[in-house]
Structure formats: C-alpha cells, structure tokens
Structure 1
C-alpha cells in the first residue's frame, strides 16, 4: 500500500511541475501563437540580433539579444515573473538556451520549435 501511495504522489508531483525533467516546453508555431494569444500574461520575446529583428519579427515581439549576455541578464531583471515568456530565435537554438536560463531564474517560459525560419516557411505573417 505504501508503495502505491509513493508512486501516486510521485506521479502527481511530476504533473504539477509541468515537465518532470525540467525541460523547457517547446511548441510548434501554431500552438505557440494560439497559446500566446489566449494567455493574458503572454510576452513574446525575440532573442535574435537587432539586424535579424529589423528584417522581420512576429507581431508584438520585443527584442532582447541572447548573444549580448550582459544586456540579456540585465534586461530580464526587470521582467515580471508572473508573466509567461514565449521565446523564439532564427532556428530554435538561441531561444532554447535563453528559455532554459530564464526558467532556471524562475520564469515561466515557452520556446517555439524551429524558430523564425519555420514560422516564415509556414507562410505566417511577420512585421518588417
């Protein structure tokens, strides 16, 4: 009986944390934007370089360059941890690294699978 209670408590605890292994949730572009639009706390964060951002970005996205580490770390100090941050970059590598860092700092984050390249390949709208 104790074994079953321990197993049940363990399973429920994992569900409560969202991701049992602590990995950042990675969403397809479709789910990413639908979830962000439905989330009143959503903050869309583009972690690419300023030049990449200027060439095109998601509507409503704010820029905070992950590769400029001092500025990124300083920038997120002013972010509200009650919000959910939806991150993307060009292909998904930088945004996953940034999201992993932010999650470790106590932020709720989501990452877009395939990044801006997949977004545009699917014909989704951008702001230029």
Structure 2
C-alpha cells in the first residue's frame, strides 16, 4: 500500500511539473471570449497577418504588424504599449501563437485568438476593410 501512495505522489508531482513546462505564458481564446476581451477599449488589437491579408478585411481598430517580417519585434516594441493587454490574431491561429511567444518573451501581456480571423469570420463577427 505504501508503494502505491508513493507512486501516486510521484505521478502527481510529475504531472504538476509537466503542466508548468507547457505553460505558454498567454491564453488562447475562443472567438466569443476574444470578442468579450476586446470589448474593453484599453486592450490593443494586433493583427499579425501580411499587409495584403489585412487589407482584405480585419477586426475593427486592429493594428497590423506582420509577424513574418524580419522587423516584427522592432516594430512591435515601437508601436505597442507594454502596460496594456495585447489581443493577437492571424489568419488561422498559427502565426498569432508565434507572435504571442515573441511578445511574451519581451515583457508583453497577451492573449490570442485560437482559430484566427477565419474563425472570427465563420462566427459572423464584424469585419472592416
């Protein structure tokens, strides 16, 4: 019985460590949660798609900084306030996670739209051009 108690404690401890190792430092939000978050006008909306993608349609009041640009970090540091929450989106959710990782490592607090702009459009949310 002691063996099983110790084994259980070890599994619980290792599980705690693995959860901490997987902590991204940011939260991926559903479309609805993202929509509620950006309803707060102090939250900065950041679209990390290309300028051409952004011009085809984007979330209202979003700032566009292309995460694939070699100057992404420099542009982000110059344009984004460190003291505000940054809500990031891209097309499908892949680039926004990359941008979130970069921004978190540089002191920003961020959330990202888990299914990207495509998910936003699919749920009928407002788009501007």
TM bracket (short chain): 0.7 to 0.9
Is the 1:86–1:112 contact (alpha carbons within 8 Å) kept by the matching residues of 2? yes
- Give the distance between the partners of 1:52 and 1:96, measured in 2 at CA: 17
**Alignment of structure 1 residues 40-79 onto 2, 5 Å:** 40-70=41-71, 72-78=72-78, 79=80
Query: Residue 122 in 1 paired to residue 123 in 2?
Result: yes
Moved over 4 A (4+): none
The structure number with the bigger radius of gyration is 2
Q: Say which SS state the counterpart of residue 48 (structure 1) adopts.
A: coil
Is the 2:73–2:102 contact (alpha carbons within 8 Å) kept by the matching residues of 1? no
The CA deviation at 1:29 is 1.1
Is the 1:41–1:82 contact (alpha carbons within 8 Å) kept by the matching residues of 2? no
**Alignment of structure 1 residues 3-22 onto 2, 5 Å:** 20=20, 21-22=22-23
Q: Say which SS state the counterpart of residue 88 (structure 2) adopts.
A: strand
| Aligned position for 1:109 | 110
Is the 1:88–1:115 contact (alpha carbons within 8 Å) kept by the matching residues of 2? yes
Segments of structure 1 that go 5 or more residues without pairing to the other structure are 1-18
The CA deviation at 1:69 is 2.4
Q: Deviations over 1:40-63 (max 9, x none)?
A: 531000000011000000001010
Segments of structure 2 that go 5 or more residues without pairing to the other structure are 1-18
- Normalised TM-score (structure 2): 0.78
Number of aligned positions between the proteins = 109
Q: Which moved more, 1:91-100 or 1:77-86?
A: 77-86
The CA deviation at 1:73 is 1.2
- Normalised TM-score (structure 1): 0.79
